[in-house]
Amino acid sequence: MNEVPTSTLVRGACPHDCPDTCALLTTVEQGRATRVQGNPAHAPTDGVLCTKVSRYTERTYHPDRLLQPLRRVGPKGSGQFEPVGWDEALDAIADRLKVIAARDPQAVQPYSYAGTMGHVQSESIAGRFFHKLGASLLDRTICASAGAEALTQTLGDKVGMKVEFFVESKLIVIWGSNSIGSNLHFWRIAQEAKRKGAKLVCIDPRRTETAEKCHEHIAIRPGTDAALALALMHELIVHNWLDTDYIDRYTLGWEGLRARALQWTPERAADVCGVPAAQIRQLALDWGTTQPAAIRLNYGMQRVRGGGNAVRAVACLPALTGAWRHRAGGLLLSSSGHFPVRRAALQRPDLLGERRPRTVNMATIGDDLLRPASPEFGPKIEALIVYNSNPVAIAPESGKVVQGFAREDLFTVVLEHFQTDTADYADFILPATTQLEHWDIHTSYGHTDVLLNRPAIAPVGQARTNTGIFRALAQRMGFDEPCFTESDESLCRSAIGDEKDFEQLLANGFASLPLPDAPFAQGGFPSPSGRCEFFSQRLADQGLDGLPDHLPNYELATPGGRYPLAMISPPARNFLNSSFVNVKSLRDIEAEPVLEMHPQDALQRGIADGSVVKVFNDRGSYHCKARVNKRARPGVVNGLGIWWRKLGLNGTNVNELTSQNLTDLGRAPVFYDCLVEVAPDPEFTALLAKDMTHA
């Protein structure tokens, strides 16, 4: 008889920047995590994880995992480091920060994003540390701030439909989202709805695996969604497919929006969007005559100049037809505004006292690292503390970002699991714990449950939690407030405040927010007027257009222009932003950095499928393999992201080409508003072939 090994199951939460926020069950045998699975008891997870996170143990015990602090010994970017003890590293970092802060603490810049979405390992003790120091603040815009601002100016907050009710929808419009790739658990719900007879429409320039499986694919030009939304409104008006009762009672600014929409015939929009007018008419008919009808909007469509306005225009559509009256109708972009997270208790902005440090936008870190001191900007950035992010790979216009990180006079500390492209430029690299090794508490932007993550295993090597690292630094800086010694478990409690809820989290691992099924069936939007604000007085007060409009991209192809192709760079399915690129089994699936091109565009340039191409514009160039197929629409190329530069073909990635321009609302980057040209590169292809035979 086989002996059953003693194993335990530990409840956790997926830490990644993904709307699904799955509940994890980690099997631990003799102190080692052997398997990570989805928790079948948690409805949104339904016992299933994506391929990436089901490989989480491969990532945690990866041979390249950082196991001890490292100090730079070679030139910046060379990646040469020597091991150093924790005390020595922390003392040296604190000493350097003290000297810089004595001149001006704003010369110290934190840089972090959603490497983990946990409220504790992201901005709790770290927030306290930088607030107490008086460091520059960071405008965390890299992903969602255009859409978030747009939703807030329209509905009042980041709120929307409860995701589970999409299963009852009769029409689902998946707009600017590749659900199969980046919102898998929503796709399971949409498929169930499809089996029950719902029509699925996907609006995306790329023929994604999701678009392929919908009844209809509208292959719109990037950055033209507002024009499409306005033309849909035009049709709703002229055919009288409006719910005038809902409009009268629960919306603001209809007359103005109506007048604007009437300027957008389907023909005019068809011309701008590059799709047949008949397709626009059909979608308007479907939206105007189907109930319940729902839109799953995602962040793909807001990474262009007019991204904020586009989200605002789309967010008006459910109110026009009264779709919100049904629990299976309306729209979902983000549910994060539903959660009463006590951010001030976690991050303690009160530690600033009277000080009001400047705010640096993470989207323009390239330019900002290269900026000298000036009255407008303030002091030059002298120290950069990076955690939960890989800016050298993910920030736009990497040529500038790399130049900034390479500054010999910049003091850089990186808290990481791996020696990423960013870590290569650090003065000190500090090894951080993964989700299997620490406590955290999670809310979601794709469902409405709170999850608790318990540590399953002891820290690997000498890794420490982000919170532990900032506590130790605080102590060395002489910050003696009791808030700097609060434990991670206590921080989890502080995040939600309610002891009763926390007991349930400890017992189950997750808890659902008590919310109405159809939150806006009778208005009650969290906006200043309580209505769905077609017209936003708050935007008008800022001197902006109070009504949504179509704003053309910054970079628009013109006949005979040097850069005739629009490039978008959505995520590759088996990576999560730049995370997992170094996990070999996942990288093997993606094989190499690719640029998808329509056969017509490839033929014009003499580019063969599988050959190495050079993609370029005035900002830089990038080598990758051409994949010639009809996933790309004519005139648009898809550079799938986000590869580690050093694991790509020539030490760069797609962000060499993207710009530091910002969106209309929310000050976000415009990754998908980018013109390029593509050329074959036979010499590079030959070189690469030679390299391979030597390897």
Report in angstroms the alpha-carbon separations of 692 from 595, 643, 649, 687, 688.
21, 20, 12, 9, 6
C-beta of 26: minimal distance to ligand SF4 in Å? 12
Nearer to ligand SF4, 17 or 424 (CB): 17
**Neighbouring-strand partners of residue 199:** 171
Figure out which of the listed residues 10, 11, 20, 595 binds ligand SF4, where binding follows CB under 6 A: 20
Sites for ligand MGD among residues 567-626 (CB under 6 A): 568-571, 573, 575-579
Angle between helices 86-103 and 466-477 (to 10 degrees): 60
Q: Does the footprint of ligand SF4 cover residue 53 (CB under 6 A)? A: yes
Nearer to ligand MGD, 527 or 579 (CB): 579
Residue 464: DSSP 8-state: B
Q: Does the footprint of ligand SF4 cover residue 14 (CB under 6 A)? A: yes
Q: Does the footprint of ligand SF4 cover residue 440 (CB under 6 A)? A: no
The token pair that represents 275 in the structure block: 């799709």
570 binds, options Mo ion, ligand SF4, ligand MGD, none, Cβ within 5 to 8 A by partner type = ligand MGD
Nearer to Mo ion, 143 or 155 (CB): 143
Q: Which one of 84-92, 107-115, 494-502, 619-627 is the stretch in contact with ligand MGD (CB under 6 A)?
A: 107-115
Nearer to ligand MGD, 414 or 450 (CB): 414
C-beta of 309: minimal distance to ligand MGD in Å? 12
Report in angstroms the alpha-carbon separations of 284 from 325, 472, 498.
19, 58, 45
Backbone angles phi, psi at 364, to 5 degrees: -115, 30
CA dihedral 632, 638, 643, 649 (to 10 degrees): 80
Q: Which one of 15-23, 282-290, 498-506, 590-598 is the stretch in contact with ligand MGD (CB under 6 A)?
A: 15-23
The mark string for 485-524 relative to ligand MGD (x by CB under 6 A, - otherwise) is ----------------------------------------
Sites for ligand MGD among residues 131-160 (CB under 6 A): 142-144
β pairing state of 565-568 and 675-680: antiparallel
Nearest to 533 by CA among 518, 548, 543: 548
SS3 for 73? coil
654 binds, options ligand SF4, ligand MGD, Mo ion, none, Cβ within 5 to 8 A by partner type = ligand MGD
Figure out which of the listed residues 10, 11, 12, 21 binds ligand SF4, where binding follows CB under 6 A: 21
C-beta of 24: minimal distance to ligand SF4 in Å? 7
Figure out which of the listed residues 10, 11, 12, 18 binds ligand SF4, where binding follows CB under 6 A: 18
**Neighbouring-strand partners of residue 411:** 383
428 binds, options Mo ion, ligand SF4, ligand MGD, none, Cβ within 5 to 8 A by partner type = none
C-beta of 182: minimal distance to ligand MGD in Å? 3
Nearer to ligand MGD, 327 or 627 (CB): 627
9-26 burial: b if 16+ Cβ within 10 Å, else e: ebbbbbbbbbbbbbbbbb
What is the rounded distance in angstroms from the CA atom of residue 351 to the CA atom of residue 353?
Answer: 5
C-beta of 143: minimal distance to Mo ion in Å? 3
Nearer to Mo ion, 143 or 383 (CB): 143
For every residue of 126-191, which 3-state class applies, written as one string?
HHHHHHHHCCCEEECCCCCHHHHHHHHHHCCCCCCCCHHHHHHCCEEEEECCCHHHHCHHHHHHHH
Q: Does the footprint of ligand MGD cover residue 123 (CB under 6 A)? A: no
Nearest to 648 by CA among 678, 615, 609: 615
Figure out which of the listed residues 301, 365, 402, 662 binds ligand MGD, where binding follows CB under 6 A: 301
Report in angstroms the alpha-carbon separations of 355 from 105, 126, 127, 317, 376.
11, 18, 15, 43, 17
Tell me the residue type at 432.
A
644 and 653 Cβ atoms separated by less than 8 Å = yes
C-alpha distance across the termini of the chain, in Å: 48
- Which residues, in sequence order, are CB contacts of 514 under 8 Å at separation 6+? none
Q: Which one of 352-360, 398-406, 411-419, 607-615 is the stretch in contact with ligand MGD (CB under 6 A)?
A: 411-419
The mark string for 23-52 relative to ligand SF4 (x by CB under 6 A, - otherwise) is --------------------------xx-x
Judged by CB under 6 A, the number of residues near ligand MGD is 61
Angle between helices 307-320 and 145-154 (to 10 degrees): 40
Q: Does the footprint of Mo ion cover residue 316 (CB under 5 A)? A: no
509 and 42 Cβ atoms separated by less than 8 Å = yes
Nearer to ligand MGD, 19 or 509 (CB): 19
The mark string for 182-211 relative to ligand SF4 (x by CB under 6 A, - otherwise) is --x---------------------------
- CB neighbourhood size of 669 (10 A): 29
What is the rounded distance in angstroms from the CA atom of residue 587 to the CA atom of residue 394?
Answer: 17
Figure out which of the listed residues 477, 654, 668, 678 binds ligand MGD, where binding follows CB under 6 A: 654
- CB neighbourhood size of 447 (10 A): 26
Q: Which one of 191-199, 287-295, 651-659, 679-687 is the stretch in contact with ligand MGD (CB under 6 A)?
A: 651-659
Nearest to 576 by CA among 83, 51, 190: 51
Nearer to ligand SF4, 53 or 218 (CB): 53
C-beta of 628: minimal distance to ligand MGD in Å? 17
The mark string for 527-566 relative to ligand SF4 (x by CB under 6 A, - otherwise) is ----------------------------------------
Backbone angles phi, psi at 171, to 5 degrees: -140, 125
Q: Which one of 17-25, 168-176, 276-284, 579-587 is the stretch in contact with ligand SF4 (CB under 6 A)?
A: 17-25
Side-chain-side CA neighbours of 468 within 13 Å: the count stands at 17
The token pair that represents 478 in the structure block: 């002489």
651 binds, options Mo ion, ligand SF4, ligand MGD, none, Cβ within 5 to 8 A by partner type = none
Tell me the residue type at 206.
R
437 binds, options ligand SF4, ligand MGD, Mo ion, none, Cβ within 5 to 8 A by partner type = none
Sites for Mo ion among residues 138-167 (CB under 5 A): 143
Residues that bind ligand SF4 (CB under 6 A): 14, 16, 18, 20-22, 49-50, 52-53, 184, 576
Residues that bind Mo ion (CB under 5 A): 143
Residues that bind ligand MGD (CB under 6 A): 15, 17-18, 113-116, 121, 142-144, 175-178, 181-183, 203-206, 208, 220, 222-223, 225, 298-301, 304, 387-390, 394, 415-418, 420, 432, 466, 568-571, 573, 575-579, 641-642, 654-655, 658, 671-672
